[in-house]
A and B are shown apart, each in its own frame.
Chain A
């Protein structure tokens, strides 16, 4: 079975490399080891979304039973999205679970993830905090997602106000990422974030 997995991954690797999306720099895969069991994926944040301009790195683990079982994928790059855990990068996406079909490919997966970035499904959340913000305060969500894209994925949009609030917490001895998480979770309310961090 492992033989089919390797055979398929080799083939799919080429498929992605030759695809028009690579030409447009939208998706990318690299081998991590030589036996095709682990790959590094990359997707570009889709235009007209808070992720625009960012590059998101993915960990792709190919199980021995691939393609009869789906690849195990998670975000390495930290991201603020209702269907992706802001802590672990775990993804809630049907085709990576029960909706997987053996005829699907890595390219299908990467494009589906890109589509997920463009159209979140807050009713099927992975990260409850992010999903809540998305539903209750969409503008705040966009601001936060853009800020995370800038902080972790090389996105262009700098938000001095966010950076300033983080700096103030860092000055109080809080680690930067922890400060960002607290502020993001409390809609950038410095007082409440501080309270939570020191409680």
Chain B
């Protein structure tokens, strides 16, 4: 579990909100009883990370920018653009820059591909081609490409782009010019526009974090925490602030033993097959690259993600560039589902049957998790009564909450074994998996049964059952969690 959670001392069940949330403590206690072992080897879900605030992340990014700027002797805004375009990999930027600075600046869209023509004549007034107004040359500004536009037009250009959520990707206003406007240039033109400036800084920050593989926004509602880890894998991240648990790599609900692509596929399948998700699948889809939600608001099926600029097909979500030859597959399937022959029909029925088998179990465990949460609430009320009438203290009953939290954790993993199995190829490995899955399922149901009858179950018996269930869970993860 997370090395960075040091909130054991805060565990006190008289303050019962906290102990309810944290599953991690169960293992901590256990670990300290046994001989000292390296959690990296024994815990298949071990993950080293930190929960950072926006300010801390800003500091971290600025440090990286400053170091690069000093190392390459380039300006800070330039260093920032270079880092952003290279996924914040300083070593890569330095290598490329030292090898060929000119090409590096061109591919980061800081410099134009062809050097701008020298303007020999220098008139006192120019007509801005955007607002078609004659201005004094003093009012004109340009990027490295030398395309001149008046100050007001730059300001308006930035305002319009920022209001559409674009920030690090704002380019020059000239036709076919790919040069990007660096942060200092944009801010210079938004001097007295506090609100839009703030918006811009908010969006650039979002872009920077999203382009940084070691940073991930906590997906919790209204949570501003950013998880930082050097271990860029589908690991279980737990937010200190809002207690959300999620996968560090994809930012979605944690999904071990299933991997990020498979769980995405599974969830999409479940959504597509459910009546209630009709609106979602009809009008919005996730960008296949950065997974941000895209709303379709035009007739064209060639979509471009407003965030990462990835081009994809609305129908099949395939990469647009490699789409040419595959387009027929793409449109034929959706538009002509009745083309099937008899045998294909039978196959489809079989496929549906298989899907429903896994789906029903997946859905069932999800419901169980919710029901068990209610059980825990009732248990809490009953224990509260006991404590009030002098039957022990909260600390005496703490093991019950620990057990309930462990149950939730085990069932959660069990739920996610179903999509894993659904997409697994038949063979001995699948047989082994399904065997272990069945074992885990059995022990989980045993544990659940005992917790429901907690007050009459022997504490030692319950703790023994907890041990077995958790061992089954870690065994399965050790054998099948591939991160």
Contact = CB atoms under 8 A, between A and B. Distances in A.
Interface of A: 1, 4, 7-8, 11, 65, 67-69, 85, 88, 90-92, 97-99, 101-104, 108, 122-126, 128-129, 131-132
Query: Most chain-A CB neighbours within 10 Å: which of B147, B298, B323, B335?
Result: B298
Given A8-B131, A101-B173, A102-B130, A88 B324 contact: no
A11 B131 CA distance: 10
B271 to A, nearest CB: 24
Contact of B304 (A97, A126, A131): A97
A101 B130 CA distance: 9
A101 B323 CA distance: 26
Nearest to A68: B160
Contact of B175 (A85, A90, A101): A101
B328 A132 contact: yes
A126 B302 contact: yes
Closest 7 A/B residue pairs (Cβ): A90-B299, A123-B324, A128-B331, A102-B173, A68-B160, A92-B300, A102-B130
A49 to B, nearest CB: 21
B175 A104 contact: yes
Given A101-B172, A102-B157, A103-B174, 20 more contacts: A4-B131, A7-B132, A8-B131, A11-B132, A65-B160, A68-B156, A69-B160, A88-B299, A92-B301, A97-B300, A101-B174, A101-B175, A102-B149, A103-B147, A124-B320, A125-B301, A125-B302, A128-B327, A132-B327, A132-B331
16 contacts: A4-B153, A67-B130, A68-B156, A68-B157, A68-B161, A88-B299, A90-B298, A103-B129, A103-B174, A103-B175, A122-B324, A123-B323, A123-B327, A125-B301, A128-B315, A128-B330
B150 to A, nearest CB: 11
Contact of A101 (B156, B176, B315): B176
Contacts of A129: 331
Nearest to A4: B131
B269 interface: no
Nearest to A128: B331
A139 B172 CA distance: 42
A29 to B, nearest CB: 16
A179 to B, nearest CB: 19
Contacts of B327: 123, 125, 128, 131-132
Query: Most chain-B CB neighbours within 10 Å: which of A7, A91, A124, A126?
Result: A124
Contacts of A68: 130, 156-157, 160-161
Interface residues of B, number: 35
B156 A4 contact: yes
B351 interface: no
A86 to B, nearest CB: 11
A1 B304 contact: no
Query: Most chain-B CB neighbours within 10 Å: which of A68, A90, A97, A122?
Result: A68
Dominant secondary structure at the A interface: loop
B292 interface: no
A69 B166 CA distance: 13
B326 to A, nearest CB: 10
A3 to B, nearest CB: 9
B313 to A, nearest CB: 10
Contacts of B277: none
A109 B175 CA distance: 12
A49 B302 CA distance: 25
B60 interface: no
A130 to B, nearest CB: 11
Contacts of A123: 323-324, 327
Contacts of A108: 175
Contacts of B161: 68
Contacts of B309: 98
B72 interface: no
A99 B131 CA distance: 19
Interface in B149-170: 149, 153, 156-157, 160-161
B177 interface: yes
A76 to B, nearest CB: 14
A123 B320 CA distance: 9
Interface string B94-138: 000000000000000000000000000000000001111100000
B302 A101 contact: no
Contact of B335 (A11, A98, A125, A128): A128
Nearest to B152: A4
Contacts of B149: 102-103
Given A7-B132, A69-B160, A103 B300 contact: no
Contact of A126 (B129, B177, B301, B335): B301
Contacts of A85: 299
Nearest to B300: A92
B310 to A, nearest CB: 11
Contacts of A124: 302, 320
A96 to B, nearest CB: 9
A140 B327 CA distance: 19
A122 B129 CA distance: 33
Contacts of A103: 129-130, 147, 149, 173-175
Nearest to A136: B328
A98 B304 contact: yes
A18 to B, nearest CB: 14
Contact of B153 (A91, A92, A102, A132): A102
Query: Most chain-B CB neighbours within 10 Å: which of A11, A97, A99, A128?
Result: A128
Contacts of A122: 324
Contact of B156 (A1, A98, A128): A1
Nearest to B320: A124
Contacts of A11: 132
A16 to B, nearest CB: 14
Contacts of A65: 160
Contacts of A1: 156
Contacts of B131: 4, 7-8
